[in-house]
């Protein structure tokens, strides 16, 4: 599952690499498998509703890459400033909650500030919401 | 008229008879003369012919001797030439055979040399490939083992860290009333997010964004 801004940035960079190599490489599946991790690959297929990448032409794949890059670019980022290192489990729970319960398409971006905060500061589309600030 | 005609006929008969006799006599005389001339000239001609024949026979004999000698010489030369040719041919064939034999020996020697080099190269390549394969297998196994050890170490350390963290948090909680552990902080973040949602923080900005 792609949940964070950093994962989305990594995916964008990998897709750019694939796009540069796609006309030189014959086995498209191998190229995707070598460049993307399982979550990123599934995300790419899900966004473009692809079942088998081998069925697509190179032009189709290029279009799918462009669509994915565009989608990543246009997906808003919810930045959370927290005082702890968020675990993968917590990130997934929070991501699913905002996506499923609030129906908001987004990526999470965590800023860890152990010295200053105990609680959270949320930034979304330039506005900030903060609460429960506890200073040690 | 009728009385003179038989007389004339008789007279004419006599004249013709006389003429024939004279002609016969003259012919005989001419024949004798011709015969004498031809006897004389014929002998002369025969003599000349005989001389000529002897000369021809003599010349022929000389020619035959010369021809015989020439033929013998020619045969001798031909035999010598044939012998020389045969010798040359034999020498050429022998030389060619020797050269071919030498070439064949050189070729065979080169072939075995090349084969030997190729075989050595192949053995070398195979040995190197096998060595590399073995090294690769060992390296892969080593990498796998190192990764497994690292993973095990990581898991163990992670568990240890969690236990230490829990212990520390428990101790800190009891020592510091204001301390909030990670689990509580996670809950707090979720609550803050819910609070923000209830206040329309996400909805407002989503709607505004959609309107834009």
Question: How far A6 CA sits from the closest chain B CA (Å)?
Answer: 20
As to burial, measured by CB atoms within 10 angstroms (0-12 exposed, 13-18 middle, 19+ buried), residue A48 is middle
- Residue-wise pLDDT for B156-192, tens only, equals 888 887 777 777 767 766 666 666 778 888 888 888 8
**Average confidence score pLDDT of chain B:** 81
Alpha-helical segments (H) within chain B: 4-175, 182-198, 201-211
pLDDT of residue B99: 84
B190 chain-A contacts, CB cut-off 8 A? 93-94, 97
A104/B193 Cβ within 8 A: no
pLDDT of residue B207: 56
Q: Which residue of A has its CA nearest to B201?
A: A129
Q: pLDDT-based confidence at B35, cuts 50/70/90? A: confident
Per-residue pLDDT, averaged over A77-88, amounts to 91
Cβ-Cβ contacts under 8 Å between A and B: the total is 65
Asked if B171 contacts A76 with a C-beta cutoff of 8 angstroms, the reply is no
Q: Which residue of A has its CA nearest to B192?
A: A131
Q: pLDDT-based confidence at A136, cuts 50/70/90? A: very low
B209 chain-A contacts, CB cut-off 8 A? 76, 125
Q: Is residue A94 within 8 angstroms of chain B, CB to CB?
A: yes
pLDDT of residue B169: 67
Which chain B residues in 75-114 lie under 8 Å from chain A, judged by CB atoms? none
For B37, B39, B49, B106, the CA distances from B45, given in Å and listed in that order, are: 12, 10, 6, 86
B180/A125 Cβ within 8 A: no
- Residue-wise pLDDT for A31-79, tens only, equals 888 899 999 999 999 999 998 888 888 889 999 999 999 999 999 999 9
How many contiguous H segments (helices) and E segments (strands) does chain A have?
5, 4
pLDDT of residue A63: 93
pLDDT of residue A113: 85
Which chain A residues in 49-88 lie under 8 Å from chain B, judged by CB atoms? 76, 78, 80, 82-84, 86
Q: Is residue A134 within 8 angstroms of chain B, CB to CB?
A: yes
Q: Is residue A116 within 8 angstroms of chain B, CB to CB?
A: no
pLDDT of residue A98: 93
pLDDT of residue B87: 80
pLDDT of residue A135: 46
Q: Is residue B182 within 8 angstroms of chain A, CB to CB?
A: yes
For A4, B108, B128, B132, the CA distances from B117, given in Å and listed in that order, are: 61, 14, 16, 22
* Burial call B191-201: b when 16+ CB within 10 Å, e when fewer: ebbeebbeeeb
* CA pair distance A3, A80, nearest whole angstrom: 13
- Residue-wise pLDDT for A1-28, tens only, equals 899 999 999 999 999 999 888 877 667 8
> pTM, whole model, 2 decimals?
0.48
Question: How far A88 CA sits from the closest chain B CA (Å)?
Answer: 12
Q: Is residue B197 within 8 angstroms of chain A, CB to CB?
A: yes
For A29, A74, A99, B149, B202, the CA distances from A105, given in Å and listed in that order, are: 28, 10, 6, 40, 11
Phi first, then psi: give them for residue B198, nearest 5 degrees: -65, -35
């Amino acid at each position: 599952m792609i949940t964070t801004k950093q994962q989305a940035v990594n995916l964008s960079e990998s897709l750019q690499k694939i796009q540069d190599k796609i006309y030189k490489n014959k086995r498209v599946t191998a190229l995707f498998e070598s460049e993307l991790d399982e979550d990123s690959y599934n995300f790419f297929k899900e966004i473009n509703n692809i079942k088998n990448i081998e069925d697509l032409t190179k032009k189709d794949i290029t279009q799918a890459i462009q669509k994915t890059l565009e989608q990543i670019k246009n997906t808003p980022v919810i930045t959370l400033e927290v005082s702890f290192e968020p675990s993968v489990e917590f990130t997934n729970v929070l991501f699913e909650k905002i996506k499923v319960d609030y129906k908001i398409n987004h990526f999470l971006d965590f800023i860890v500030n152990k010295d200053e905060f105990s609680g959270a500061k949320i930034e979304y589309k330039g506005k900030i919401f903060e609460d429960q600030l506890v200073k040690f | 008229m009728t009385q003179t005609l038989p007389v004339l006929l008789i007279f004419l008969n006599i004249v013709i008879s006389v003429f024939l006799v004279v002609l016969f006599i003259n012919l005989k005389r001419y024949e004798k003369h011709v015969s004498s001339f031809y006897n004389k000239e014929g002998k002369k001609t025969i003599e000349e012919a005989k001389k000529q024949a002897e000369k021809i026979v003599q010349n022929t004999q000389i020619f035959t001797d010369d021809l015989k000698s020439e033929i013998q010489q020619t045969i001798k030369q031909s035999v010598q030439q044939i012998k020389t040719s045969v010798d040359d041919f034999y020498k050429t064939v022998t030389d060619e055979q020797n050269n071919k034999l030498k070439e064949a020996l050189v070729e065979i020697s080169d072939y075995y040399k090349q084969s030997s080099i190729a075989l050595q190269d192949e053995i070398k390549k195979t040995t190197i490939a096998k060595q590399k394969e073995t090294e690769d297998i060992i390296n892969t196994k080593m990498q796998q083992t190192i990764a497994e050890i690292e993973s095990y170490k990581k898991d163990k350390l992670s568990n240890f860290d969690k236990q230490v963290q829990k212990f520390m948090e428990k101790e800190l909680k009891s020592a510091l009333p204001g301390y909030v552990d990670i689990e509580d902080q996670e809950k707090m973040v979720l609550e803050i997010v819910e609070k923000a949602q209830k206040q329309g923080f996400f909805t407002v900005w989503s709607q505004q964004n959609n309107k834009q």
